[in-house]
Amino acid sequence: MPIDYVHITTLPVHAHINFLHVPDIGGPLSDDRYKITILISKHDTECIKEINNACERAANREWSGSGTKDVQMPLTDGETQKSIRPALANYHLCTFKSFHAPILQMPDGTVMPRSVEIKVGDPVRVFGSMGRMIEDQRKIVACYLSGVQLLNEPPDSKDNSSVIERLHQRLADFLPWN
């Protein structure tokens, strides 16, 4: 039976840990996937409600007959992480993952150059979907990553717009007629 995905575009949130240009590989907890964990303020009830509704719709599409109360949802309370980083207690966390590279966009909708990194705390919008997954006989709603849009222009992005543009800038600096 094919998975019936629920598509979602988040409201503006903050980036946390992310592996967007290359997958998370080689570490003890690596899963060889592209991913981003987003931080949603506990005061942002509209965004929390939107994500919870998408999760509920995904769970109901798959397990409506058997009930959804025992389904593990992807939104976690930052209180569980506060021993590692106390500031996370004020947020909910949600991780979107993909085996394929996501579409990365600048604030104006253009393609994000590899020279631009999304840093922890940067405001982003995530494009993805929710769908079912069964892992170790547990019902889980997983978040699948399609794309990420950076919402504020990073200060250095004008200078680092692409490798080829940086090369042209360097060459221009050494040309005798400039």
**C-alpha to C-alpha distance for 146 and 30, rounded to whole angstroms:** 19
* Domains present along the chain, CATH in parentheses: 6-153 (2.40.50.140)
DSSP single-letter state for residue 102: P
Residue 88 has φ and ψ, to the nearest 5°, of -70, -15
pLDDT tens for 93-141 read 999 999 999 999 999 999 999 888 899 999 999 999 998 877 777 888 8
Query: What is the C-alpha to C-alpha distance for residues 65 and 152, in angstroms, rounded to an integer?
Result: 44
pLDDT, residue 115, reads 85
pTM above 0.85, yes or no: no
> What is the per-residue pLDDT for 1?
47
pLDDT value at position 178?
46
Number of Cβ within a 10 Å radius of residue 176? 4
**Tens digits of pLDDT across the chain (178 residues):** 456 789 999 999 999 989 999 999 988 888 999 999 999 999 999 999 999 999 888 888 877 766 667 788 888 998 988 788 888 899 999 999 999 999 999 999 999 998 888 999 999 999 999 988 777 778 888 899 999 999 986 555 555 455 566 566 666 666 655 4
Secondary structure (DSSP) of 106-150? -TTSSBPPTT--PPTT-EEEEEEEEEEEEETTEEEEEEEEEEEEE
Task: Specify the pLDDT at position 98.
Answer: 95
Contacts of 124 (CB under 8 A, 6+ apart): 12, 13, 14, 15, 36, 38, 118, 148, 149, 150, 151
